[in-house]
Amino acid sequence: MPAARAATEDTAMTELDDATRHALCDLLLAIADDKLMLGHRNSDWTGLGPILEEDIAFSSIAQDEIAHAQALYEFVGRLAGTTADALAFGRSPDAYRCAAVVERSDDNDWAIALARQLFCDHLDQLRLQRLSNSSYAPIAALARRLAAEEQVHVEHADGWVRRLGSGTDESRQRMQAALDTLAPLSASLLEAVADQATLEANGVYPPLDPPMTATWCAKLTTLVDDAGLHLACPESAPNTPGGRRGVHTPEFPSILDEMCEVYRIEPDAAW
Amino acid sequence: MSGSSNVGMHVDHDLHDDPEKLAEFESRVADGHLIEHDDWMPDAYRKGMLKMAEHHANSEIIGALPEGEWITRAPSLRRKLALTAKVQDEVGHGQMLYRVSQDLGKSRDDMLRDLITGKTKYHNVFNYPAPTWGDIAMIQWLIDGAAIMNQKTLADGAFGPYVRTMKRINMEEAFHFKSGEDMVLTLMSGTPRQKKMAQDAFDRWWYPSLMFFGPPDKPDAENLPPMKWRMKTVKNDELRQRFVDRFAPAALDLGFVINVVEKDADGLVVAKRPDEQLRQDETTGHYAFTEPDWEEFYRVIRGGGPCNRQRLALRRLSYEQGQWVRRAILQGQAGLPPAA
Ligand SMILES: [Fe+2]
Ligand SMILES: [Fe+2]
């Protein structure tokens, strides 16, 4: 990391009061955990993609997601006195803050993988936009850096939804089925972290106008309509506590078991 | 990774080649000129180069599989990113080499189909298992190391498109090798469990690395078409010796024991003893070593290796599950997005 950038992101780490710091850590973990799980799932396509060119492109995006997660974990690590790897690999399942939609397997279905990426990328773009306007300068600086790459992801996902929507009957059906399957699950992305209201009130995570959820739905619906498909976009988070409060899908612990298999052999060792 | 030295090339003169053109071709090759797609070349040369580039391309994308299996289990964010990028590079090498092959007259789809139906082959080394994280370190150190040695000599060949691709690929392989070296060093300076993981993996990969360069050469290898036409520029045995001279002392320095091993049908080591032949000749500087088991080599090439079926099955699954996407691209309005 260049010295100048590190300086801005490091500045004023101590300015936050305890409640804000806790809430911000939770929010950043939610974003980072989403990105890690998404990157983790998608990196598994490397070498197995449907077309060599797309294999390479999709792998680049998976790497971006993991690298974004890493940058956010490092940030949280500085606020909370731990390391990025300990956050990524060393927590118990209920300490993760990721949403149900990124925990879902794509079952080797490219359309599901793409739809999962689509819902997440569009939300990531908006979350990073909000953080870019944060009253807390260090996180605003980091968010602006990540937002530029997020734009590329959104264009990639949008391009593929259009391509599959205008491809064959089969590709239309498969893309539609994937959207239908994931749309209800994508509501999990909208759940707020504990004390998110504090961050919205003090400008650390300023709201958007129109609100983020409405913007997210409007963008997704326009795109999907344009691709000749349809989308029942969720307009709010589920009523029951989910990933943001540490309540995960039944398959989540086994995802962690796989991801942490080697790390757990010697958690304190360098690998 | 990869390289195509064990392609098992049977390239020979064709009696129908115009002797004048053949003589001109051979003198251009001997003078170090590069041959391009639209130049005259013996039919056997065109076919041989296609076979070689296709085999190499197949090896890159099959080579992505054993390491790809460990992306989801990499033990740190840094390693996870590096391994994903590494496997992605290998897919990129496959793409570049399929392009060279396509220009020699075979469609990509035909090549992918011939690969999964077993009509064409890929490098033998990928038929061995990678049961631990230590194997991933070893593949990037020994196998990418062997690939660099081999591909540097292939970059000295005569076929322009292949030579240029080798040069590009070799730059990326250097990164893979460096990261492999770093992983091995980290394990060998780690806990007893990590060291054992590395030694066990070393035992599994040392002999496949020696076999990587292909079987012993025919006595008159220099005068046969593959070398005479500079499709290949250094003999298998010479490359193998260079490899041992470079890696045996490095391995000993890191604290490895170089063992002769016996393996079961799954490619796992069931018995081992230190290689007693292994020593440096004081006058020549070369290391002596126990030769690989060439019967095993031929058995694995014929499909009897520990992972042949598994690799092809996964490649087939990927091909089949991607078919609807490829059809959508071919029949749809929008073209393919540019590769990142
Ligand atoms: Fe490589
Ligand atoms: Fe390669």
Domains contained in chain B, CATH given: 19-253+294-331 (1.20.1260.10)
Q: State mean pLDDT over B250-255.
A: 98
Report the top-level CATH class of A16-265: mainly alpha
Question: What pTM was estimated for this model as a whole?
Answer: 0.94
**pLDDT band with cut points at 50, 70 and 90 for residue A42:** very high
**pLDDT above 60: residue A202:** yes
The ipTM estimated for the assembled molecules is 0.94
The answer to whether B66 and B130 are in contact (CB under 8 A) is: yes
B337 interfaces chain A, CB cutoff of 8 Å: yes
The predicted structure's pLDDT at residue A1 = 42
The predicted structure's pLDDT at residue A11 = 47
The predicted structure's pLDDT at residue B10 = 66
**pLDDT above 90: residue B293:** yes
The predicted structure's pLDDT at residue B338 = 46
Nearest to A159 by CA among A63, A65, A223: A223
Q: State mean pLDDT over B266-272.
A: 96
Which range has the worst mean pLDDT, A69-83, B199-213, B319-333?
B319-333
Q: Do B91 and A55 touch (CB under 8 A)?
A: yes
**pLDDT band with cut points at 50, 70 and 90 for residue B331:** confident
HSE-up of B282 (CA within 13 Å, CB side)? 0
Q: Do B328 and A170 touch (CB under 8 A)?
A: yes
**pLDDT above 60: residue B98:** yes
A266 vs B71, B191, B329: nearest CB: B191
The predicted structure's pLDDT at residue A7 = 44
- Listed in order, strand segments (DSSP E) in chain A are none
Q: Which residue of B has its CA nearest to A168?
A: B328
Report DSSP state, residue A133.
T
Chain B residues 130-159 with CB within 8 Å of chain A: 133
Q: Which residue of A has its CA nearest to B81?
A: A63
B194 interfaces chain A, CB cutoff of 8 Å: yes
Distances (CA, A) of B122 to B58, B59, B117: 5, 5, 12
Cα–Cα dist B253/B26, whole Å = 45
Q: State mean pLDDT over A138-150.
A: 96
The predicted structure's pLDDT at residue B312 = 96
pLDDT over 70, % of chain A: 95
The answer to whether B84 and B73 are in contact (CB under 8 A) is: no
- Per residue in B182-219, pLDDT tens? 999 999 999 999 999 999 999 999 999 999 999 999 99
